[in-house]
Amino acid sequence: MTPSKRFDRIAFVASNSADAQAALEQLTQIYGNVDPTEADVIVALGGDGLMLKTLHDHMRTGKPIYGMHRGTVGFLMNEFSTIDLHARLAAAKDTLINPLLMRATDVDGNVHIHHAINEVSLFRQTHQAARLRILIDERERMAELVADGILVATPAGSTAYNLSAQGPILPINAPLLALTPISAFRPRRWRGALLPNTAFVVFEVLEGDKRPVAAVADHDEARNVRRVEIISDKTISMRMMFDPGHSLEERILSEQFGY
């Protein structure tokens, strides 16, 4: 299959920044711009925030998504160029991403179901630390964690908030999830755990009336939660495309060595 045939129909999406909008105009003039529903590939112009939004918007379509950096943070993006886009798309390597599925039940019994590409996080809502019970595959692993919160990160999200919380960087193809506390007070020296990506993770909120907790799946928030269940959703596989030598796997590996 020739590159021009395979990627003849390109849909461009862009953030609102001036650079991204200028790139959108340039690329549309050269390559056209079809509706995403008719496209062979979606090209996102912006930063990592736009890439996450684009992945969420097209999560169930199976369409490959190729990002070009026209934003602030570009860890998930390729370098921007208007030259030979069809050839770049044909040569790009796929990285498959499975999102996390969060099922959070709040104090009123309402159930909030959201997907997360980077992480699911629990946060204290007031000045008082959260008290959480942790179960993995229906077995209690920690009777009480006192902390500002906790998160479960995918390999793709391990270099985002998880890294800022001193969590481990995971190779993109590792069948793992990072379980990372946020400012843990007790146990004071606990730094988290590595879990298989088949794990069923449950957080139960203790003293929720006194110490309310919010759960956030990427950007979708549920407040006053009592129980949060998290699992990797293997029914959804998203295709992110990277230029040869600049794959997400290579970027994550490089990040571990500080460059």
Residues labelled catalytic: 48
Dist CA 23 CA 21 (whole Å): 5
| Residue 49 in marked binding region | yes
**Residue 132 annotated in ligand binding:** no
Is 160 labelled a binding residue?
Answer: yes
In 3-state terms the chain splits into helix, strand, coil percentages (rounded to 5) of 20, 40, 40
Q: Which of 50, 105, 43, 39 is nearest to 74 (CA)?
A: 50
Whether 132 and 204 have beta carbons less than 8 Å apart is answered as: yes
**159 labeled part of a ligand binding site:** yes
Task: Give CA 192 to chain center in angstroms.
Answer: 19
Does 148 count as an annotated binding residue? yes
Dist CA 94 CA 42 (whole Å): 13
Measured in degrees and rounded to the nearest 5, phi and psi for residue 224 equal 55, 50
Degrees (nearest 5) of the Cα angle 25, 31, 35?
Answer: 80
Is 17 one of the annotated binding-site residues?
no
14 within 8 A of 21, measured Cβ to Cβ: yes
Is 81 annotated to bind a ligand? Reply is: no
Q: Is 48 annotated as a binding residue?
A: yes
User: Is 255 part of any known ligand binding site?
Assistant: no
91 annotated to a ligand binding site: no
Annotated binding site for NAD(+): 48-49, 53, 118-119, 148, 156, 159-164
Binding residues are 48-49, 53, 118-119, 148, 156, 159-164
